[in-house]
A and B are shown apart, each in its own frame.
Chain A
Amino acid sequence: MKITGAEIFIESLKKEGVRHIFGYPGGVVLNIFDHLYDEKDLRLILTRHEQGAVHAADGYARATGKTGVVLVTSGPGATNTVTGIATAYMDSIPLVVFTGQVPTMLIGNDAFQEADIVGITRPCTKYNFLVKDVNDLAYIIKEAFYIAATGRPGPVLIDIPKDVTTGKAEFVWPESIKIRSYNPTYEGNKYMITQAAHMIAKAKKPVIVAGGGVILSGASKELKELAEYTDVPVTMTLMGLGGFPGSHRLSLGMPGMHGTYYANKSIQESDLLVAIGMRFDDRVTGKISAFASNAKIVHIDIDPTSIRKNVRVDVPIVGDVKKVLTTLNKVLKEEVKETWHEIRKAWLKQIATWKAERPLTYDRDTDVIKPQYVIEKIYELTKGDAIITTEVGQNQMWASQFFKYDRPRTFLTSGGLGTMGYGFPAAIGVQLAFPNKLVIDIAGDGSIQMNIQELATAVINKLPVKVAILNNGFLGMVRQWQELFFQERYSHTRLDASVDFVKIAEAYNAVGLRATKRSEVEPVLKEAFSIKRPVFMDFAIDWQEKVYPMVPAGAAIDEMLFLEENKKTEKKLKAVK
């Protein structure tokens, strides 16, 4: 029996096991929305902006490991998804985004609400499709889900013209997908893995740098086993936080521009870097030519293009992190006999000294609210049992420094693209997947206003997300750079504290709370966590607070600025500039 394209769409999503779609209706997708009206097993969450829908699906995907699904209309509906898609693309998050398109006959005609979304998203999707024939629809949907979730994951877009949703075809669901030009390598080369094992055995000062690939491939257990068995300290990139327990004795915290002193020191002094599922982003490496100059580098990644893109690599291993680490651990245990603890002793002792010398810190003796204090309190009150999303900027860095993430998929942030406005809709997606979890978006007063309309989505869908707004009246990170490198000329970074976030929350029928001094922070947090509704917490923080340590752009990662020498170094730096 032939059914319509709209029905094929619904049936295909069900076959894929999809339960939730994030979306926004419009003219050319009306037929699909009409079929969703009676649908019991497939729920569409109406956001208030298409960008919010994509971030929500992205948050849902990051927290669950499933592929996030989005459905929007053509033209502006489609173009509004671009930031969300690019965000997911940079961080390798599996999404399938469906956009409506004007009828096939009208494509290229500059029809009403027409946009060449396939052309627009070509550079920021893993792949994209324009469905020209309803007979291909089911196959393309299956193919899209397959591409999105396999290999290095990423977003896939399917553009469906209106006439394809009304056209009829037999529903044939393919058993499996085979694409001759797409064969990701999962198993690492055994010879290379053995090489890596021997290098780990011999290294006196090794460091593991774990990235988002550890989380994506579900390899936290294998990573922990490797680190513990060989006694190698682990630093987690922004995307890797939670991939290895932040509270573990071998954890060095985050490396890079706002990384810990001891992570950066360890990398710079190391004789072996084991890079796992990370891609040597410039925020991690700082000045490339001065990066880990004495270290041999083992690089494990599923994407061959990540290897030798930015840094030289001695042992490249292309493969799925989980599979490679499983083999590596096996080889280490069977073939390499070493007394790790003895040869690592001096190195771990050195690291302990660095840790003691310069821990992450801030001014604790003050009654003004320090943002780091808010994060620490959140960590303390939740005992780490929460899923944290962030916006982008200072809030993001403080959230990565002062909260210890012990489990994968509990820290969600836009790492690659750095998208302000990501955290709040992402938190909504997470809360939908985990209704009983405490989900907190750590935000700034700038970022939250980039997708604040999604508060309606949270309220109406009874998703009790908490938003901690670290309100400094500035676009804080940019202001920090202006203070340090542009002679305090705060060009267009002052937002003015004129927005009343408590009233905004109330206007949306959510709860708004405010803290203006340190002593009010804990009561506000406690109250917020006890309310089963969305809450905005407005923390009036010290506007001058900066993120430290900091590696100035273009400097080597051990050329860091610290809080203590704040003024002194800043002066020196200004002189240099």
Chain B
Amino acid sequence: MRHTISVLVENKFGVLSRISGLFSGRGYNIESLSVGETTDPNVSIMTIVTSGDDWIIEQINKQLNKLLDVIKVVDMSELDHVEREMVLIKVAPRTEDKAEVLRLTEIFRGRVVDSSPKTYTIEITGDEKKIAAIVELLRPMGLKEFVRSGKIAIAREAARKQP
């Protein structure tokens, strides 16, 4: 099963290598990995999408926790959470498809962030399904390339109790 794991790490050099080395050394799978700052400049957060059965996921969690630079590991898949990914798509549509490309961008609440006489570069944010859908829809319309950011995730706050 696929899991999204958030890993809070010390913002030191070599940390990314320790984490990726753990995955490659033990034969775990990384589907995507993204790293960024947090409110504390000394701390970074990594969002790792991985897959495996319960045994493997348990080991991944424990092995991550064992790394000295890892402060906290949260398996987002066990919590109510929000996931987002961003994709930048470059399309070179035929003239008759241009309007459709722009319309799709709008439907998917995306933006055109760059345009040239022959191409549009479109930015779309969403969960995995949405990204997959837009990519598929644009594929026949001159899709040239796309770059995905990897997934990021955050836990939802517990709903406030009704008085």
Q: Which residues on the B side are within 8 Å of A182 (C-beta)?
A: 68
Q: Does A181 contact B (CB under 8 A)?
A: yes
**Contact across chains for B71 and A180 when beta carbons are under 8 A apart:** yes
Closest to A312 in B: B55
Query: Considering the chains assembled together, what is the distance between the CA atoms of A119 and B18 in angstroms?
Result: 9
Closest to A303 in B: B66
Q: Does B17 contact A (CB under 8 A)?
A: yes
Q: Does B63 contact A (CB under 8 A)?
A: yes
Q: A301-322 toward B: CB 8 Å interface, digit per residue (1/0)?
A: 0011100110000000000000
**Contact across chains for B14 and A181 when beta carbons are under 8 A apart:** no
Q: Does B32 contact A (CB under 8 A)?
A: no
| Contact of B66 (CB < 8 Å), options: A119, A123, A147, A305 | A305
Q: Which residues on the A side are within 8 Å of B62 (C-beta)?
A: 304-305
Q: Does B59 contact A (CB under 8 A)?
A: yes
Query: Closest CB of chain A to B135's CB: distance in Å?
Result: 36
Q: A99-130 toward B: CB 8 Å interface, digit per residue (1/0)?
A: 00000000000000000001100110011001
The 3 closest A-B pairs by CB, nearest first: A305-B62, A181-B71, A127-B68
Closest to B54 in A: A308
Query: Considering the chains assembled together, what is the distance between the CA atoms of A179 and B66 in angstroms?
Result: 13
Query: Considering the chains assembled together, what is the distance between the CA atoms of A126 and B65 in angstroms?
Result: 13
Where chain B touches its partner, the secondary structure class is helix
Known: A118-B14, A122-B21, A304-B66. 4 other contacts (CB 8 A): A123-B25, A181-B71, A308-B55, A308-B59
**What number of B residues sit within 8 Å (CB to CB) of A?**
18
| Contact of A181 (CB < 8 Å), options: B25, B58, B63, B68 | B68
Q: B20-64 toward A: CB 8 Å interface, digit per residue (1/0)?
A: 010001000000000000000000000000000001001100110
Q: Which residues on the B side are within 8 Å of A304 (C-beta)?
A: 62, 65-66
Query: Considering the chains assembled together, what is the distance between the CA atoms of A237 and B59 in angstroms?
Result: 23
Q: Which residues on the B side are within 8 Å of A122 (C-beta)?
A: 14, 17-18, 21
Q: Does B75 contact A (CB under 8 A)?
A: no
Q: Which residues on the A side are within 8 Å of B85 (C-beta)?
A: none
Query: Considering the chains assembled together, what is the distance between the CA atoms of A524 and B17 in angstroms?
Result: 54
Residues of chain B from 71 to 91 with CB closer than 8 A to chain A in the complex: 71
Query: Considering the chains assembled together, what is the distance between the CA atoms of A175 and B25 in angstroms?
Result: 36
Query: Closest CB of chain B to A252's CB: distance in Å?
Result: 29
Q: Which residues on the A side are within 8 Å of B66 (C-beta)?
A: 303-305
Q: Which residues on the B side are within 8 Å of A147 (C-beta)?
A: 68
Query: Considering the chains assembled together, what is the distance between the CA atoms of A303 and B62 in angstroms?
Result: 9
Query: Considering the chains assembled together, what is the distance between the CA atoms of A292 and B68 in angstroms?
Result: 34
Can you list 7 A-B pairs, Cβ within 8 angstroms, ordered by A? A119-B17, A122-B14, A126-B68, A130-B14, A179-B68, A181-B69, A308-B58
Query: Closest CB of chain B to A305's CB: distance in Å?
Result: 4
Closest to A156 in B: B68
Q: Does B10 contact A (CB under 8 A)?
A: yes
Q: Which residues on the A side are within 8 Å of B65 (C-beta)?
A: 304
Q: A466-496 toward B: CB 8 Å interface, digit per residue (1/0)?
A: 0000000000000000000000000000000
Q: Which residues on the A side are within 8 Å of B69 (C-beta)?
A: 181
Closest to A143 in B: B68
Q: Which residues on the A side are within 8 Å of B68 (C-beta)?
A: 126-127, 147, 179, 181-182
Q: Does B152 contact A (CB under 8 A)?
A: no
Given contacts A303-B66, A308-B58, contact A123 B71 (CB under 8 A): no
